[in-house]
Structure 1
Amino acid sequence: MNPSIPASEALPGTDEPGGVIAVTRALRLLEAFGMTDAQLTLAELSRRTGMHKTTALRLARTLAADHYLVQKEDSSWRLGRAAGWLGACYQATFNAHDVVEPVLRELAIETGESASFYVREGNQRTCLARVDGPRTIRHHVRVGIGLPLELGAPGRVILAFSGEPGEPYETIRQRGYHLSQGEREAEVSSVSAPVFGMHWRLLGSVCISGPTSRLSETRLLELAQTVIRAANQLSYALAGGHKPPTRTGGAATWHP
């Protein structure tokens, strides 16, 4: 840690070799804004970043000079057009498949089963990406196919973390994953966990699936934490590096 920086303002990662503290602090100031924050007061920016008000004000004025922040008439701050341009560039150039498929590939190799990523489209779940398992006998699903939400672990997980009331959804939310056996297809079993973006926005669910002859309930329970780790990895990547709270089988609180 740089001894010239007050301990109360030290930020994670700023003591790493080659790091520029002022840049890191400026980024923390921008990251203080959430999806529902049209504006923030200086006091709130100071609270969220852990910086002194004078430091936050100096950085905010610097960012405003290049249109990353704008100070309003009531002295509160909002994101500026330069920040919006960066976001638009990210959205235009980001390819989810470049992030999702490598994680699914690792999951398939680690578990020996097929791995898939599903998203919700109306009252169905659509397979957005998939990597088949390495074994000859495996579960096959076509990318782009629409399947029922209420049948199978991936759909149940999406419903649960979309706020569906009652059971089994309350239990799924508490556990942080769901497993199913023969629910949609006879002799097919799967275990699934939710994938979130920033601010706990549900993006979809990741799962592994295969024949029940290999995926007994005991085996599915053994693989649940592996699937959760993959879901956490996808959540981190798809949120643009803003890591949601890590879930380890229901340990985190979900905010719909």
Structure 2
Amino acid sequence: MAALERGLSILEAFTHAGNPLSLAELSQLTGLYKSTILRLCASLLRCGFLHRLDDGRYHVGPAVFQLGRIYQRSFKLGDAVVPVLRHLVSKTGESASFYVRDGESDVCLYRIDSPHPIRDAGVAEGDRFPIDDSACSLMLSSLGGKPCPSPEMRAEDIVVATKQSRRIAGAAAVLSPVFQLEKRLAGVLLLSGPESRFTDAAIGEMTRLLLDQSAHLTQVLGGDARPFLRALAETAEA
């Protein structure tokens, strides 16, 4: 098991680097001895998980691509998102949604309603909203066209709270982005409910919960969750 974990740590190094790596670079990124890396790389090369370039550097091999294709064919976004939404609702009691940008509209792709009789009604899965100056729309616009997240992003740069929803009168929301492969925006996780329940203390708890679940979902989608985890650690220290 330990050898398997060390081998996987070598493959994981390429997800952060994004380019061929030398033996010295692999040692620095993984913390493994060069002799250990050479032994593990020999096995990964034989199985097609690594490819060695003429200059001695390593890159991921075709077997990784084949596994990725299998994952893409079998993966359904809802299978990853809906359990996260259920978890958010169970922890906060508020409605949880996942929004994406589709052309000139923001789409509520998935949603789990709050169990409270008083909640932000009027939004359902599949609802489309024109692009506007709401917090969700602004986040989809600002992060949708560039590689993210930045390693320097702090909690306040990631999670946005608004006590006056632009789309639903009397509603408040806390939202966080989710990223996928190549640092592209996958969508926005959003907790929403009546303004009266979104106290500063509640928003603080929701912020930590959203950072945790955004990190989890980003990892599932192949994105870099480290900025979320760093921001989460910052909130714990505050």
Shorter-chain TM-score bucket reads 0.7 to 0.9
Does the CA-based 8 Å contact 1:198-1:244 persist in structure 2? no
Change (3 A) 1:184 1:217: farther
Does the CA-based 8 Å contact 1:235-1:243 persist in structure 2? yes
Q: Distance in 1 between matches of 2:204 and 2:25?
A: 43
Q: How far off its partner does 1:78 sit?
A: 1.6
In the alignment, what sits opposite 1:154? 136
Higher share in helix: 2
- Partner of residue 192 from structure 1, selected from 168, 175, 194: 175
Question: What aligned pairs does 1:107-256 form with structure 2 within 5 A after superposition?
Answer: 107-139=88-120, 140-162=122-144, 174-180=156-162, 181-197=164-180, 200-215=183-198, 219-221=202-204, 223-239=206-222, 243-245=225-227, 246-248=229-231, 251=234
Partner amino acid, structure 2, of 1:228: L
Q: How far off its partner does 1:65 sit?
A: 0.9
> SS at the partner of 2:48?
coil
Partner amino acid, structure 1, of 2:7: A
> SS at the partner of 1:158?
helix
Change (3 A) 1:82 1:227: closer
Q: How far off its partner does 1:191 sit?
A: 1.3
Does the CA-based 8 Å contact 1:197-1:244 persist in structure 2? no
> SS at the partner of 1:189?
strand
Change (3 A) 1:184 1:249: farther
Change (3 A) 1:30 1:249: closer
> SS at the partner of 1:134?
coil
Q: How many residue pairs get matched?
A: 226
In the alignment, what sits opposite 1:5? none
Q: Distance in 1 between matches of 2:199 and 2:86?
A: 22
Q: How far off its partner does 1:156 sit?
A: 2.8
In the alignment, what sits opposite 1:7? none
Change (3 A) 1:56 1:135: same
> SS at the partner of 1:32?
helix
Q: CA RMSD in A?
A: 3.0
TM-score by length of 1: 0.75
TM-score by length of 2: 0.80
Structure 1 residue runs of 5 or longer lacking an equivalent are: 1-19, 165-170
Question: What aligned pairs does 1:25-174 form with structure 2 within 5 A after superposition?
Answer: 25-34=6-15, 37-139=18-120, 140-162=122-144, 174=156
Q: Distance in 2 between matches of 1:209 and 1:53?
A: 50
Partner amino acid, structure 1, of 2:96: A
Q: Distance in 2 between matches of 1:172 and 1:70?
A: 36
Change (3 A) 1:36 1:227: closer
Q: % of aligned pairs identical? A: 36
> SS at the partner of 2:115?
coil
Q: Distance in 1 between matches of 2:210 and 2:21?
A: 37
Change (3 A) 1:192 1:21: same
